[in-house]
Amino acid sequence: MAACEMKGFLSFLVLWLVSREKMSGAEIALELKKRKGSKPSPGTIYPVLKYLKDKGLVQIDSNKRYSLTKKGGKELDAHIKTFFETFCDLDEMKECCRK
Amino acid sequence: MAACEMKGFLSFLVLWLVSREKMSGAEIALELKKRKGSKPSPGTIYPVLKYLKDKGLVQIDSNKRYSLTKKGGKELDAHIKTFFETFCDLDEMKECCRK
DNA sequence: TTTCCAATATCGGATATACGATATATGCTG
DNA sequence: CAGCATATATCGTATATCCGATATTGGAAA
């Protein structure tokens, strides 16, 4: 238990990425690889996209590119707010990182 | 599945809090309540502390106050690094939050 | 010392999250 | 069109994460 793998932010990250520009599933996976180092498997990324779509947070166009819906925008805003409240001392954390 | 509850950063946060000052389990729980809004239950916080202690990342003094070990410091540094790489555009995110 | 309350600890189980394997669709190239 | 590679999708499962309920401990106050 409690292996400190820092799971749990995939949906949040996907919402964030898609809010910035339309992206396909493959593009999202690539961007996540850039950031986290490991590329999420298809079995990881597509279920998340389906979940977000079913929940009405993202929409998919004819080219299979995902973008944020209005509802998704509100949800993302709320998540970002929580995120920055939870990590309210990011500056200090970043400072610590440079040592 | 994939309910976007943003779980998974509890161990990380605990390491971070404890790295700044010695804290008891109760104090840690209180600080988490301040940040996240909800107070983690005893069944949440103490197993995490035990796990971190068993793994040699934190130590506990005679007053049951936790602090970071040397090993824990290295682990925390690595996590912080990963964290900032994953969320490499925090400025933009924060900006978005203010709108 | 005894009582009481809060902090600490532990256990079982519920849910979230992610992955591997596999199947299907899509589009490109010959 | 046929063949192939890649993207997409789905299913079952493994693990991480967390919580509720329930002990247990430890210290303060009567």
Task: Output the pLDDT for position B5.
Answer: 78
Q: What is the mean pLDDT of chain A?
A: 93
Question: How many other C-beta atoms can be found within 10 angstroms of the C-beta atom of residue A26?
Answer: 12
DSSP H helical ranges for B1-99: 10-20, 25-36, 42-54, 70-86, 90-98
Task: Output the pLDDT for position B99.
Answer: 63
Q: Are B30 and B39 in contact (CB under 8 A)?
A: yes
Task: Output the pLDDT for position A2.
Answer: 60
CB contact under 8 A, B6 and A9: yes
| Positive or negative torsion for Cα B98, B79, B29, B4 | positive
* Nearest chain B residue to A4, by CA: B11
Q: Are A43 and A97 in contact (CB under 8 A)?
A: no
Task: Output the pLDDT for position A51.
Answer: 95
CB contact under 8 A, A4 and B47: no
Specify the 3-state DSSP secondary structure of A18.
helix
Task: Output the pLDDT for position A79.
Answer: 94
* Mean pLDDT value of segment B12-22: 97
Angle at A80 between CA B17 and CA B33, to 5 degrees: 40
A28 closest-nt by C1' vs CA: D7
Residues B39-80: pLDDT tens digits? Answer: 999 999 999 999 999 999 999 999 999 999 999 999 999 999
**pLDDT at A13 exceeding the cut of 90:** yes
What are the structural domains of chain A?
Answer: 10-98 (1.10.10.10)
For residues B17 and B15, give the distance between their C-alpha atoms in angstroms, rounded to a whole number.
6
Residues A63-97: pLDDT tens digits? Answer: 999 999 999 999 999 999 999 999 999 999 999 87
For residues B19 and B67, give the distance between their C-alpha atoms in angstroms, rounded to a whole number.
6
Task: Output the pLDDT for position A5.
Answer: 78
For residues B35 and A84, give the distance between their C-alpha atoms in angstroms, rounded to a whole number.
9
